[in-house]
């Protein structure tokens, strides 16, 4: 194409691509001239919120990222922690919110595809997936369609890949009516010495393009993820990215095989901002430069401009830096798997990206000034108006018959079983799933070792709305607790920070507070942040979502012999309550679901108490004393006890130290465990030694849950409760 046909570059063009006046001037200053159209496209993609983290970077530095187990913290495609026995775990969580709202099936599917590529670019084989989903009210427009599409999209992609989806979170809240959240998590394993970092090093080394051909898919995706939805969003729709899990599966196998050849210097997937961000990031990390010849890029359709090729977000594509002279080895591997492979450029020592098309240079940009030199903003932050009012304690109505109230709570999509979702996910493939979905944390065995790897993801957006700092701390604390319930030691966090528009000072404040809360909790509980993702601009028509700093956490179990169950296992086992209730109902499910009130301070987080509780649970699990353990979280003791009964359809006869209101209180740092009668004394003594309040509240047995709440008696058949709980979600979906 002739350069003359290119659109003119001026401030208006820059603004149309998402740059501010200041950023545009800065760009011209860096270049020492005006950029051309392609260069402007590249720079605005690199400086988009999604790629540059310009509004979050300054705050994210607060996270603790070091630790004895950490091999790679934030900065690469995914973080890496040591598991032992020469193995490492590689994991990350990422958002795909905007695409999933526009086209739920493809948006969610490609979200899974993207997070999987982040794992295998590091040289690790993905072995587990999780997903954290936030939908609006089930009756909101399009919501059932969104739920259906997102779940099918996640399932079809992960299932076809043969990576089990073993856990996640699903919630419904009106603050997500116009902007759902789809966060995908993947974890892989590798031998310690086979981890690869995405650094383009060694000038003269060829750059290879592998995988699907390039089309016009998702051009501007990164910019779209950096804007809010409004009425004319439909107009700006890019070509929807379609996931091709079959191609990704062979890409995975071929890449892992290619890595074994020793001929790969670096591997990077083309995610947001496609070839632009992948090539710039690789060269930036390697402190090198590169030359790309766009003629060589395999294309799906004719007539793509350099601008489009550089910004396309076609899926299932990789850039690979090969060792010079060993290209043929790699070419052979990829061709055997039937994949396209092309040499599209080479690494240079110039520190510049020189992009050529049909013999002409179409872009020539310095790399590090555009990556490391991207703008950094500390946006003005302001406590939300009306916060104090929101935090005022509301009156808590008496529930009447506790069993009836419990039934009503379990009869909601929020607290009902999520099995309708996870039965659509293959969670048993790879034959490592020791604990699939349905418990506190999922666990996979690591073949060839005695080790287990546990994982969970947690956050309560209502808590975060009422007090982002406490809410974020609670998310970390709950994740640690969930891991402890299976006896796992936490190794690291990958966070996925979903917020509204950061240019809104109230959102900026929520973000800052949340990051502080995560940092504080991670420090206290000794879990470093090793990777993560920020998703801003989650709002519609000016209405922000509730702040949702999702926390995914992975941990390790030294062996799997004594793995406790989530629910009661055998009659006559003694039920012990760990922790004490403080009657906290700010943002509780009881107040929200039964009384429509979302007010007060969220439950306080006592990090020391959480630490002791988790240590106790791990000790008891390792010791073999724990028959079952389940933490108390959303819905309080009532919901935790009901869930404990469901696993084997076993009832319990319990005298609890709470009144009917306290039955649903969400005070933290608590768990319900069951142990054999013989083990009780030892468990109580250990709890006392560690300063964890412990009380025997009754025994497992029978087919009903019998309650004595401070004198109020109530009883319900487990089967009756179970049938309500297990069908609540499909009924709400009108299936």
Partner 1 sequence: MKARVTIYPRPEVLDPQGKAVHQALTRVGFDGVNSVRVGKSFDIELKTRSQPLAMKQLEAMCDKLLANRVMEVYEIEILGKAGK
Partner 2 sequence: MKCGVVVFPGSNCDHDVYHVLKHLLNVETVFLWHDDADLKGSDLVVLPGGFSYGDYLRAGAMAGLSPIVDEVRRHAEAGGLVLGICNGFQILLEMGLLPGAMRRNLGQRFLCRDVHLEVVRDDLAFTSQYSVGQILRMPVAHAEGNYFDTPKNLDALEKNRQVVFRYCDPGGGPDDPNGSERGIAGICNRDGNVFGLMPHPERCSEELLGNVDGLALFSSVMKSAAAAMEVEA
Ligand X SMILES: Nc1ncnc2c1ncn2[C@@H]1O[C@H](COP(=O)(O)OP(=O)(O)O)[C@@H](O)[C@H]1O
Shortest spacing between CB 485 and Mg ion, in angstroms: 7
Nearer to ligand X, 48 or 482 (CB): 482
- CA 519/CA 284 separation, integer angstroms: 28
170 binds, among Mg ion, ligand X, partner 1, none (CB under 5 to 8 A by kind): ligand X
Q: Which two tokens stand for residue 407?
A: 């039934």
Site for partner 1 in 81-120 (CB under 8 A): 102-103, 106
- Residue 96 known to be catalytic: yes
Shortest spacing between CB 552 and ligand X, in angstroms: 11
Q: Which of 79, 111, 155, 221 binds partner 2 (CB under 8 A)?
A: 155
Shortest spacing between CB 560 and partner 2, in angstroms: 6
CB 107 within 8 A of CB 242: no
Nearer to partner 2, 236 or 336 (CB): 336
Residue found under tokens 């499909």: 730
Nearer to ligand X, 21 or 428 (CB): 428
534 binds, among ligand X, Mg ion, partner 2, none (CB under 5 to 8 A by kind): none
List interacting residues with ligand X (CB under 6 A): 131, 133, 165, 167-170, 418, 421-422, 437-440, 458, 482, 633-634
Q: Select from 427, 460, 419 the least CA-distant residue to 728.
A: 419
Shortest spacing between CB 240 and partner 1, in angstroms: 4
Residue 433 as a binder of partner 2 (CB under 8 A): the answer is yes
SS (H, E, C) 378-414: CCCCCCCCCHHHHCCCCCCCCCCCHHHHHHHHHCCCC
CB 488 within 8 A of CB 454: yes
Nearer to ligand X, 83 or 181 (CB): 181
Site string for partner 1, 268-307 (x = CB under 8 A): --------------------------------xx------
- Residue 427 known to be catalytic: no
Site for partner 2 in 246-265 (CB under 8 A): 246-247, 249-250
Q: Which two tokens stand for residue 105?
A: 């099936």
Task: Tell me the three state secondary structure of residue 321.
Answer: strand
Residue ranges of alpha helices (H) inside 337-485 are 368-371, 387-390, 402-410, 419-422, 461-466, 468-485
427 binds, among partner 2, Mg ion, partner 1, none (CB under 5 to 8 A by kind): partner 2
Nearer to partner 1, 103 or 426 (CB): 103
CA atoms within 13 A on the CB side of 205: 25
Residue 17 as a binder of Mg ion (CB under 5 A): the answer is no
Rounded to whole angstroms, the maximal C-alpha distance in the chain is 86
- CA 250/CA 337 separation, integer angstroms: 6
Q: Which of 13, 30, 140, 242 binds partner 1 (CB under 8 A)?
A: 242
227 binds, among Mg ion, ligand X, partner 1, none (CB under 5 to 8 A by kind): none
Residue 425 as a binder of partner 2 (CB under 8 A): the answer is yes
Q: From the candidates 37, 50, 98, 220, which is the catalytic residue?
A: 50
Residue 426 as a binder of partner 1 (CB under 8 A): the answer is no
Q: Which two tokens stand for residue 25?
A: 């001037």
- CA 455/CA 557 separation, integer angstroms: 11
CB 482 within 8 A of CB 167: no
Give bridge partners of residue 574 from the DSSP assignment: 675, 699
Shortest spacing between CB 103 and partner 1, in angstroms: 5
CB 185 within 8 A of CB 93: yes
Residue 419 as a binder of partner 1 (CB under 8 A): the answer is no
Q: Which of 118, 217, 244, 495 binds partner 2 (CB under 8 A)?
A: 244
Q: Select from 640, 684, 681, 646 the least CA-distant residue to 663.
A: 640
Shortest spacing between CB 142 and partner 2, in angstroms: 20
Backbone φ and ψ of 477, nearest 5° = -65, -40
Residue 482 as a binder of Mg ion (CB under 5 A): the answer is yes
Residue 300 as a binder of partner 2 (CB under 8 A): the answer is no
Residue 16 as a binder of partner 1 (CB under 8 A): the answer is no
CA distances to 199, 258, 282, 331, 431 from 254, in Å = 20, 6, 20, 10, 22
Catalytic residues: 50, 96
Binding site for partner 2 (CB under 8 A): 152, 155-156, 159-162, 244-247, 249-250, 337-338, 422-431, 433-434, 445, 447, 560
């Amino acid at each position: 194409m002739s350069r003359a046909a290119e659109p003119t570059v001026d401030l208006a063009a820059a603004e149309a691509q998402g740059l501010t006046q200041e950023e545009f001037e800065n760009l011209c200053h860096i270049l020492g001239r005006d950029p051309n159209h392609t260069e402007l496209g590249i720079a605005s993609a690199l400086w988009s919120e999604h790629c540059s983290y310009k509004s979050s970077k300054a705050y994210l530095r607060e996270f603790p990222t070091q630790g004895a187990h950490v091999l790679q913290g934030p900065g690469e495609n995914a973080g890496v922690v040591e598991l032992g026995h020469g193995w490492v775990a590689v994991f990350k969580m990422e958002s795909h919110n905007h695409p999933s709202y526009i086209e739920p099936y493809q948006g969610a599917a490609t979200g899974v595809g993207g997070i999987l590529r982040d794992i295998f670019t590091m040289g690790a084989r993905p072995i587990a997936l999780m997903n954290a989903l936030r939908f609006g009210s089930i009756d909101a427009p399009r919501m059932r369609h969104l739920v259906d599409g997102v779940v099918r999209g996640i399932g079809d992609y992960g299932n076809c890949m043969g990576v089990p989806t073993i856990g996640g979170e699903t919630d419904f809240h009106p603050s997500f009516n116009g902007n759902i959240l789809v966060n995908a998590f993947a974890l892989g394993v590798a031998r310690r010495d086979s981890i690869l970092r995405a650094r383009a090093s060694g000038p003269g080394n060829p750059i290879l393009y592998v995988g699907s051909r390039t089309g016009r898919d998702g051009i501007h995706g990164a910019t779209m993820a950096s804007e809010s939805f409004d009425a004319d969003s439909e107009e700006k729709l890019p070509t929807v990215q379609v996931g091709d899990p079959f191609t990704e599966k062979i890409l995975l196998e071929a890449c892992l095989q290619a890595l074994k050849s020793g001929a790969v210097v670096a591997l990077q997937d083309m995610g947001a901002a496609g070839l632009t961000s992948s090539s710039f990031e690789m060269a930036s990390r390697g402190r090198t430069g590169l030359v790309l010849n766009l003629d060589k890029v395999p294309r799906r359709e004719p007539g793509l401009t350099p601008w489009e090729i550089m910004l396309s977000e076609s899926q299932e594509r990789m850039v690979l830096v090969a060792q010079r002279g060993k290209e043929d080895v790699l070419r052979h591997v990829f061709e055997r798997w039937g994949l396209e492979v092309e040499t599209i450029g080479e690494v240079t020592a110039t520190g510049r990206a020189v992009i050529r098309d049909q013999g002409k240079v179409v872009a020539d940009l310095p790399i590090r000034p555009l990556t490391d030199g991207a703008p950094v903003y500390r946006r003005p932050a302001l406590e939300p108006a009306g916060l104090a009012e929101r935090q005022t304690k509301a009156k808590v109505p008496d529930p009447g018959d506790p069993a009836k109230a419990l039934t009503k709570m379990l009869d909601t999509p929020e607290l009902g079983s999520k099995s309708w979702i996870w039965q659509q996910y293959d969670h048993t493939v790879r034959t490592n799933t020791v604990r699939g979905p349905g418990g506190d944390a999922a666990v996979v065995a690591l073949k060839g070792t005695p080790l287990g790897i546990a994982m969970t993801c947690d956050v309560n957006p209502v808590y975060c709305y009422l007090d982002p700092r406490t809410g974020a701390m609670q998310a970390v604390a709950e994740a640690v607790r969930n891991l402890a319930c299976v006896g796992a030691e936490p190794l690291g966090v990958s966070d996925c920070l979903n917020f509204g528009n950061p240019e809104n000072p109230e959102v900026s404040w929520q973000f800052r507070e949340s990051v502080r809360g995560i940092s504080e909790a991670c420090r206290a509980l000794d879990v470093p942040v090793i990777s993560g993702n920020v998703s801003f601009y989650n709002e519609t028509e000016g209405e922000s979502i509730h702040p949702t700093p999702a926390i995914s956490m992975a941990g390790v179990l030294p062996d799997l012999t004594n793995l406790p169950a989530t629910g009661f296992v055998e009659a006559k086992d003694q039920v012990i309550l760990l922790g004490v209730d403080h009657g906290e109902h700010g943002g509780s499910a009881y107040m929200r679901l039964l009384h429509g009130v979302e007010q007060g301070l969220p439950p306080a987080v006592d990090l020391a108490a959480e630490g002791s509780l988790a240590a106790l649970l791990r000790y008891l699990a390792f010791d073999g004393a724990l028959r079952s353990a389940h933490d108390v979280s959303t819905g309080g003791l009532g919901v935790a006890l009901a869930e404990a009964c469901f696993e084997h359809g076993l009832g319990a006869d319990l005298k609890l130290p709470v009144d009917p209101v306290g039955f649903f209180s969400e005070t933290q740092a608590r768990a319900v465990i069951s142990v054999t009668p013989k083990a009780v004394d030892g468990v109580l003594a250990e709890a006392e030694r560690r300063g964890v309040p412990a009380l025997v509240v009754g025994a497992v047995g029978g087919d009903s849950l019998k309650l004595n709440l401070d004198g109020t008696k109530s009883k319900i058949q487990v089967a009756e409760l179970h049938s309500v709980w297990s069908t609540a979600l499909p009924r709400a979906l009108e299936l």
